[in-house]
Structure 1
């Protein structure tokens, strides 16, 4: 008797297995986000306690930072260098004295300049006396018109009031005073007291000096004199008017150092 062969039944394929994997993935993601959330919540009180404990322990150690205290490196006032002292201005009494003296002398020169200018204007001497403030000092240019006769070195009486006024002002100063004689380029006439213009210019400056020293008793050491003949004209010796300008005596109250 034949037996019927039974066909082995094939198990049915489960098409929903992916749901298990998906569920596991979702679960893991949820756990991951829960952990992140838990880590993001900081316990402030516990953090403060931890920070204070660490600082206390670090401060017990020797400093590893210059001018610090412990590992925190906080500044230790006891170890701080003293602040640099502001450099004090070193005063030099001698230098200050000299500067004050220089300013006083300059003020005296300016006062002298104003007084002589005023005197010239009040006495209508503009054509005979010229005053200038030069780098060398205060220069007073005196024309020979009222100082001397032509070719001579004797002071006229008309020159005394002007020279006396100047002497009264010079007495108050301790500056060096230069007296210079100048002539034009015309030669000296023979038979006179002077051989040439060199002698005449020097004689005229000497005459003014002797008035200050002998008549007005000013200190001789305050003066120096020179005669320049016709070597330093103020105008070309081409006309009589220009030659008149060149025949002069210049008195300069020198600035310090000149």
Structure 2
């Protein structure tokens, strides 16, 4: 009977004793984290006082860097050389000369515009000469009424005074001068000098150019010419008055060239 009771007690031994150790470990960990949490609650005021004190002590100490301050060697703004004051406008002699030249050229164009307007009014040429200040430059529109006979490109004698006056003004300018010939849309009569309006418009611009170069001795390199036929009308070619407006030579003193 005794042997059986001993065996029964051996079988009933507790195998979960390890849970006690595990529970103790968990308890210790919880206590550890509670302590950490308690230590993490910083007094803001005390922290600021400490930070200011440390900052003051480090900043007042001698630095190992030139022009620095404090042990940390930070740069002291008071010891730094002030940068040289730079002007917003950089002095560039070439740029200044170019700007002055542009201003002078623009002033010359405005003076030219006023002089030609005064000349046209003084000589009652409003119906024959039109002057305009455009984006390209100062444009002088000359009617073919006093420049050429119908279908021809030979300058009339009446054209000389106006062209001579323009030449005297052009001598004072360095700008490029464009001469353009224009016609109406009526076809050229057969048997004439020109086959079509292209040839007539180009011949008329060339005749004006030759007057400036041969008669008044202006430099050829100042000019460029073109003939546009009836492709650039200033009025619809529906009436004789409008066609008369389209038969013209335009002389433009180009801006900025």
User: Normalising by structure 2, what TM-score?
Assistant: 0.71
* Pair 1:252 & 2:229 matched: no
Q: Residue 241 and residue 76 in structure 1: after superposition, are their counterparts in 2 closer, same or farther (change >3 A)?
A: closer
Bigger fraction of residues in helix: 2
Kindly tell me the number of residue pairs found equivalent between the two proteins: 197
User: Normalising by structure 1, what TM-score?
Assistant: 0.71
The alpha-carbon deviation at position 117 of structure 1 amounts to 0.2
The equivalent residue for 2:126 is 126
- Aligned mates of 2:194, 2:245 — CA distance in 1: 21
- Aligned mates of 1:60, 1:119 — CA distance in 2: 83
Does structure 1 retain, via aligned residues, the 8 Å contact 2:62–2:69?
no
The equivalent residue for 1:205 is 205
- Aligned mates of 1:169, 1:85 — CA distance in 2: 49
Which is greater in Rg? 1
The equivalent residue for 1:167 is 167
Q: Residue 110 and residue 69 in structure 1: after superposition, are their counterparts in 2 closer, same or farther (change >3 A)?
A: same
Give secondary structure in 2 for the equivalent of 1:91: coil
Q: Residue 67 and residue 179 in structure 1: after superposition, are their counterparts in 2 closer, same or farther (change >3 A)?
A: same
The alpha-carbon deviation at position 193 of structure 1 amounts to 0.7
The alpha-carbon deviation at position 84 of structure 1 amounts to 2.3
Q: Residue 187 and residue 86 in structure 1: after superposition, are their counterparts in 2 closer, same or farther (change >3 A)?
A: same
Does structure 2 retain, via aligned residues, the 8 Å contact 1:69–1:76?
no
Does structure 2 retain, via aligned residues, the 8 Å contact 1:68–1:76?
no
The alpha-carbon deviation at position 153 of structure 1 amounts to 0.6
In structure 1, runs of 5+ residues without a counterpart are 1-57
User: Which 4+ stretches in 1 moved above 3 angstroms?
Assistant: 58-64, 66-70
Does structure 2 retain, via aligned residues, the 8 Å contact 1:144–1:247?
yes
The alpha-carbon deviation at position 223 of structure 1 amounts to 0.5
- Aligned mates of 1:76, 1:114 — CA distance in 2: 61
The equivalent residue for 1:85 is 84
- Aligned mates of 1:92, 1:230 — CA distance in 2: 48
